[in-house]
Structure 1
Amino acid sequence: MTDSSLSAPCPSPLLVRRLLSLFYDFWPSLALWMLVAVPFVLLDVAVNGGDTHHNIAPYSLLGWLLWLCCWVASGLYATFSWRLGGQTLGMRPWRLQLRAAGGQVPTRAMLWKRYAMGTLSLLCGGLGFWWALFDRDRLTWHDRFSGTRLVRIPKED
């Protein structure tokens, strides 16, 4: 590698790459949610006298706790992945990497801020993601809020 290739900034990824990466990361998250749900389902079965045909009530305390635990499990998956290598499983095929705005490794606080704002963005119909179409630096809400950014890694020869 030459010195110019090391100092050249990596381009921000297009929105399509971000969304495809998010779609890929949905599948490991779904597997985590299934694992997290097992104790909740077993508890619900035990509370309802062994009735295996009973579902957890949608707005019950147990239902809200299940959603909270699933959100935390996905957050742990994302933040640990970002902290260890800058990439989740879904980011690897699209050659995306997460970095702090200055290029260093993001802190845990930055990563959790990113995850929380990304969640809020998705709850708003993905508005924070669509923001990247109009942002001059192609940054999303969670990029700006957390002081992090996704970069596209160049292909290795």
Structure 2
Amino acid sequence: MDRPAHLGWRLLALVYDLFPAFALTIAYGALITGVAALAGQPDLSDLRWFKPLNALGLWAAVGAYFVLSWARGGQTLGMRPWALRVVGDDGAPAARAALLKRYAWATLPAVAVIGLAGLVPWNDARLPFGVAAAVAVLGWLWAAIDRDRAPLHDRLSRTRLVRRVNAA
């Protein structure tokens, strides 16, 4: 029997999923560094176009992990220990387009804040990341007022995160 996953289970899965996501960012960085060295441009930080392109690549690499994991059984590594899975609103496996929307709605608002931070002079360089974190948390806080306790990214993508519980 499947029940909606409450916030605690979601956060446990998210923390667990930070490990493969972090490993992906390291692998992505190593790949970019290697390609840059082979191209004779070992210091990419001076290239104006590199930072936004690199951020987009990192976002896509981590997104591929989540979306492909959800598409192959509805679970990431972090969801498996707690029997969580992503399904469509109807309880059937979610369509790939819905999974892409889920990832985009969960991450793009905070990513956009960080991107826009470059256009605003900040007195404290850490402030944009605090604002981005606040924007990300707002999507999760939506669950407190949602009738199904779904965070905003699930509501907008028409997906649900459920937990399998044994019927005893």
TM beyond 0.5: yes
| Match runs of 1:87-126 below 5 Å | 87-120=75-108, 122=110, 123=132, 124-126=135-137
**Deviation for aligned residue 1:110:** 0.4
Give the TM-score of the pair, scaled to structure 2: 0.76
**Which residue of 1 is the match for residue 126 of structure 2?**
none
Q: What pairs up with 1:1-157 in 2 under 5 angstroms?
A: 10-45=2-37, 46-48=40-42, 56-57=44-45, 60-120=48-108, 122=110, 123=132, 124-155=135-166
Per the normalisation by structure 1, the TM-score is 0.81
Q: Which residue of 2 aligns with 1:51?
A: none
Shift of 1:59: 8.4
Q: Which amino acid counterpart does residue 150 of structure 1 have in structure 2?
A: L
Structure 2 unaligned residues grouped into runs of 5+ = 111-131
Percent identical residues: 39
Q: 1:43: Cα distance to partner?
A: 4.5
Contact 2:107–2:136, Cα closer than 8 Å, also in 1: no
CA shift for structure 1 position 41: 1.9
Query: Residue 60 of structure 1: CA displacement?
Result: 3.3
Give me the whole-angstrom Cα distance separating, in 1, the residues matched to 2:163 and 2:47.
Answer: 41
The structural deviation recorded for 1:120 is 3.1
Which blocks of at least 5 consecutive residues in structure 1 are unaligned?
49-53
| Offset from partner CA, 1:70-127 (integer Å, 9 cap, x none) | 1111111111111111100011112211100011111111000000000035541321
Number of aligned residue pairs: 143
Which residue identity is paired with 1:108? Answer: R
Quote the RMSD (CA, aligned, Å).
Answer: 2.2
User: 1:156/1:136 Cα in 2 relative to 1: closer, same or farther (>3 Å)?
Assistant: closer
